């Protein structure tokens, strides 16, 4: 299938096992990298590919790797962030479940490039069933000489460990993850120092997302420049999008960056349109933390251009009229979805998941949730809406880690674009009790 890199062989029966994976060209990149390339050359290819972090922030991977402190004689670590707990995001799980060797392959080359001899996969606690799959893949790779001492007869050795978390969203934040990996309470650290200098056990560490690392294998095989031909502008390559909500075909899709949002929602190869032929009301395109956009702004930018699935196009208009690609958790709402209820639901999530370390996030997330609960249950006041905006502003930017922002943005954006619906909830407390799922499209509101 055209435009697929990561999931190109997903339909091959038995692809989860080593033998079939190897037959389809698996582990070629390891042979190529370890035998023909220096670590610096691998680094260069990754930089050339333009690959950007798929964990949410979209930070250029090559650049991140270049920050790693290589001067110390302390060990260096690579940590694969498989904590995937962002509501709406389920692409890493899919990848690990069906293509565990693609990840292992990426880990080996990345570790080689970074001069790492110990690598950890920190996996979300709820993904227990994946631990066995990954460990099995690790053993298979080891038995075939791709892991362990002196890989493929070279001087390079690598061990990979799988470490399950205990079910906290905050442990996806890279420094909280490192704390948790060290066996401590998963509180984010105060930065600086950044993990590139002081990460796991105080040693230089790189933390990357599953999808980011999985892409490194194909990049080495095809070459960075070739990879960069996929996609559009600074959004190179392909992206896994986990689509859910009121669509005909929820699931994980690999798209070439630059696909128009409209094609993604309505195309038969992707979401296949809105369920029951209803109208599209709104989309959260990048996991629950990114701003929600109403249908019109989702399909085209404020300038009237078609909105594309790229980091740049989705962010066009900043937060006033834009949003973010984030982790690629694409949540679609049809005309019947209640934005207030959804916002309350998300606020509830962030309240539950805040680590509680810093006061704006600990107190602010709880406060927003309580106010939204009242509004959703017909006990709100009009002033509550501005209060929510004020709380979200007071959290934003004032916290230790980005969870504070992630909690503030959904609330602020929902009010920015759907204020009328919040007001409706306040003004018609009786009505919303019966139609809690907001059977009214925004346009029909009085």
Partner 1 sequence: MLKVTIDNIPIDVEDGTTILQAARMIGGKVVPPAMCYYSKLKGSGGKCRTCLVKVAQSSAKDPRPIPKLVASCSTPVQDGMVVQNLTSPEVVEARKAIVEFLLLNHPLDCPVCDQAGECDLQDLSFGYGMEETETVEERREFPATDIGDKIKLHMNRCILCYRCVYAADQITGKRVHGVLYRGDVSEIGTLIKQAVDNDFSGNMIDVCPVGALTDKTFRFKSRVWFLKPMNAHRDCPACAGKVTAWLFGEEIYRVTGRKDQYGELEDFICNECRFEKKDPGDWIIEGPRHIKRQSVISANHYERMKKQSIILPIAGKMEDQF
Ligand X SMILES: Cc1cc2nc3c(=O)[nH]c(=O)nc-3n(C[C@H](O)[C@H](O)[C@H](O)COP(=O)(O)O)c2cc1C
By the criterion CB under 8 A, which residues form the site for partner 1?
Answer: 168, 170, 185, 190, 351-360, 362-367, 370-371, 383, 387, 394, 397-400
- Residue 293's beta-bridge partner residues? 283
User: Phi-psi region for residue 378, left (φ > 0), alpha (ψ -120 to 50) or beta?
Assistant: left
Q: Does 365 bind ligand X (CB under 6 A)?
A: no
Of the two residues 258 and 404, which places its CB atom closer to ligand SF4 in the complex? 404
55 binds, among ligand X, ligand SF4, partner 1, none (CB under 5 to 8 A by kind): ligand X
Q: Which of 10, 57, 152, 445 binds ligand X (CB under 6 A)?
A: 57
Spell out, one character per residue from 312 to 331, where the chain touches ligand X: x when CB under 6 A holds, - when not: --------------------
Strand (E) or helix (H) holding 209:
strand 205-209
Interface size with ligand SF4, residues (CB under 6 A): 14
Instruction: Please state the φ and ψ torsions of residue 67, each to the nearest 5 degrees.
Output: -75, -20
366 binds, among ligand X, partner 1, ligand SF4, none (CB under 5 to 8 A by kind): partner 1
- Contact range with ligand X by CB under 6 A, out of 165-173, 195-203, 262-270, 339-347: 165-173
Minimal distance, residue 89 CB to ligand X, in Å: 7
State in angstroms the smallest separation of the CB of 402 from ligand SF4.
7
> To which H or E segment does residue 23 belong?
helix 18-23
CB-count exposure of residue 93 (10 Å: 0-12, 13-18, 19+): buried
Tokens of 192: 């600086």
Q: Does 238 bind ligand X (CB under 6 A)?
A: no
Report if residue 357 touches ligand SF4, rule: CB under 6 A.
yes
Round to whole Å and give the CA distance between 354 and 363.
9
Cα→Cα distances 236→239, 323, 329, Å: 9, 19, 18
The nearest distance, CB 368 to ligand SF4, in angstroms, is 13
CB of 289 to partner 1, least distance (A): 16
Using the rule CB under 6 A, is 355 a contact of ligand SF4? yes
Cross-strand partners of 334 = 280
Residue 396 contacts ligand X per CB under 6 A:
no
Does 207 participate in binding ligand X (rule CB under 6 A)? yes
CA 284 to chain centre: 13
Considering the rule CB under 6 A, would residue 53 count as an interface residue with ligand X?
yes
Stretch that binds ligand SF4, among 54-62, 151-159, 286-294, 348-356 (CB under 6 A): 348-356
* Residue 364 binding partner per list partner 1, ligand SF4, ligand X, none, with a CB distance cut-off of 5 to 8 Å that depends on partner kind: partner 1
How far apart are the C-alpha atoms of 239 and 310, rounded to whole Å?
Answer: 9
Beta-carbon count within 10 A of 277 CB: 8
Q: How many Å is the Cα radius of gyration of the chain?
A: 22
Displacement of CA 162 from its chain's centroid (Å): 20
Rounded Cα–Cα distance for residues 33 and 415 (Å): 50
> Quick one: which of 257, 256, 247, 249 has its CA closest to 284?
247
Query: Which of 106, 133, 112 lies closest to 18, judged by CA?
Result: 133
**Residues between 164 and 183 with contacts to ligand SF4, criterion CB under 6 A:** 170
Please report whether residue 217 would count as binding ligand X according to CB under 6 A. no
For residue 403, state whether it binds ligand X (rule: CB under 6 A). yes
Q: Which of 404, 415, 424, 438 binds ligand SF4 (CB under 6 A)?
A: 404
Binding site for ligand SF4 (CB under 6 A): 170, 188, 354-358, 361-362, 399-401, 403-404
């Amino acid at each position: 299938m055209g435009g697929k890199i990561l999931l190109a062989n997903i339909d091959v029966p038995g692809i989860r096992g080593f033998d079939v994976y190897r037959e389809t060209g698996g582990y070629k990149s390891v042979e190529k990298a370890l035998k023909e390339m220096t670590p610096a050359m691998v680094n260069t290819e990754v930089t050339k590919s333009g690959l950007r972090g798929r964990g949410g922030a979209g930070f250029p991977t090559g650049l991140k790797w270049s920050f790693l402190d290589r001067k110390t004689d302390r060990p260096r670590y690579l940590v694969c962030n498989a904590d995937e707990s962002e509501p709406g995001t389920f692409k890493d799980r899919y990848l690990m479940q069906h293509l565990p060797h693609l990840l292992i392959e990426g880990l080996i080359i990345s570790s080689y490039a970074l001069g790492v001899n110990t690598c950890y996969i920190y996996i979300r606690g709820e993904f227990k069933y994946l631990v066995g799959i990954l460990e099995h893949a690790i053993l298979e790779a080891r038995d075939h000489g791709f892991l362990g001492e002196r890989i493929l007869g070279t001087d390079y050795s690598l061990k990979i460990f799988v470490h399950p978390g205990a079910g906290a969203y905050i442990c996806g934040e890279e420094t909280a993850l490192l704390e948790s990996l060290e066996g401590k309470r998963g509180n984010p650290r105060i930065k600086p120092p950044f993990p590139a200098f002081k990460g796991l056990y105080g040693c230089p560490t790189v933390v990357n997302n599953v999808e980011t690392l999985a892409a490194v294998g194909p990049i080495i095989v095809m070459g960075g420049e070739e990879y960069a031909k996929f996609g559009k502008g600074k959004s190179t390559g392909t992206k896994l999008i986990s689509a859910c909500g009121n669509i005909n075909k929820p699931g994980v899709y690999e798209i070439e960056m630059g696909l128009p949002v409209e094609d993604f929602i309505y195309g038969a190869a992707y979401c296949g349109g809105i369920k029951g032929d209803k109208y599209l009301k709104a989309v959260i395109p990048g996991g629950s933390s990114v701003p929600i956009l109403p249908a019109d702004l989702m399909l085209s930018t404020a300038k009237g251009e078609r909105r594309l699935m790229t980091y740049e196009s989705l962010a066009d208009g900043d937060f006033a009229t834009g949003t973010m690609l984030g982790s690629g958790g694409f949540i679609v709402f049809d005309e019947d979805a209640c934005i207030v209820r959804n916002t309350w639901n998300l606020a509830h999530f962030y309240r539950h998941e805040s680590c509680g370390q810093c006061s704006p996030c600990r107190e602010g997330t709880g406060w927003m949730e309580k106010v939204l609960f009242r509004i959703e249950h017909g006990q709100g006041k009009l002033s509550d809406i501005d209060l929510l905006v004020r709380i979200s502003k007071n959290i934003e930017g004032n916290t230790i880690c980005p969870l504070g922002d992630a909690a503030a943005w959904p609330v602020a954006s929902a009010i920015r674009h759907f204020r009328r619906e919040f007001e409706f909830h306040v003004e018609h407390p009786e009505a919303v009790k019966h139609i809690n799922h907001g059977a009214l499209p925004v346009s029909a509101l009085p």
